Amino acid sequence: MASTQNSIQAGISNGALVVSFLSADQPRIWRAELSRFNDATLEVQGSKLVLKRGDAAEEVGSFASKEEAVTALQAVTDALLGGTGASATTCSTKKKCGWLKKLFKAVLVLAALFIALLVTLSLLHTAPSSSAGGNAPAANVQSGVPLPADTVFGK
């Protein structure tokens, strides 16, 4: 996924942030592994875009004005928020990813409903019947008098 603003392009490629600063004082392409951003800060200092890690600061790009540096920061932000890790390589567009996620959720919901239906039917099938039909003892059964099972269970 790439973000383009004027002559600044930023995107995620092979687990790294790649930024092209064609409008910088010294036009260049800057690349950094995504793991470098775990404890880092990108900020605008004057007309420069700087990556800070602890006390160390690395200049990412120098621009003619603060507004251009902010534009560069926005392009980098869009790339980092829009395409991280495997999702950027798996889905070519956000629209495609959204559709696949919705389809996956729908399949999960249908599977859960199917399992719930099977469990419910299983419980209803094994539940004892309370109707006067098949399992009710014969009307002439007296307490304490032995009877054959066929008489009690109606077979």
Same domain, 17 and 85: yes
How many structural domains does the chain have? 2
Cβ–Cβ < 8 Å for 17, 79 = yes
* Statement to judge: residues 82 and 39 lie in one domain: yes
Say whether both 34 and 109 belong to one domain. Answer: no
Pair 15, 66 in one domain: yes
**What is the rounded average pLDDT for all residues in the chain?**
76
Burial class of 63 by CB neighbour count within 10 A (0 to 12, 13 to 18, 19+)? buried
Q: With a cut of 60, say whether residue 126 has pLDDT above it.
A: yes
25 and 81 in one domain?
yes
Confidence of residue 139 (pLDDT cuts 50, 70, 90): low
Closest of 13, 12, 8 to residue 60, by C-alpha: 8
Residues 22 and 84 in one domain: yes
**Does residue 83 carry a pLDDT above 80?**
no
Q: Which residue has the higher pLDDT, 87 or 60?
A: 60
Residue with tokens 């019947």: 129
pLDDT of residue 77: 84
- Considering the domain architecture, whether residues 104 and 32 belong to the same structural domain is answered as no
pLDDT at 86 over 60: no
**Residue scoring higher pLDDT (38 or 106):** 106
Beta strand 56-62 pairing with 16-21: unpaired
Domain that holds residue 53: 2-90
Q: Are residues 7 and 18 in the same domain?
A: yes
Domain annotation covers residue 45: yes
Whether 48 and 99 share a structural domain: no
pLDDT digits (tens, 9 = 90+) for 28-77: 888 888 888 778 888 898 988 888 888 888 888 888 888 888 888 888 88
Q: Can you give the C-alpha Rg of the chain in angstroms?
A: 35
Residue 6: the pLDDT is: 52
**Residue 25, φ and ψ in degrees, nearest 5:** -60, -40
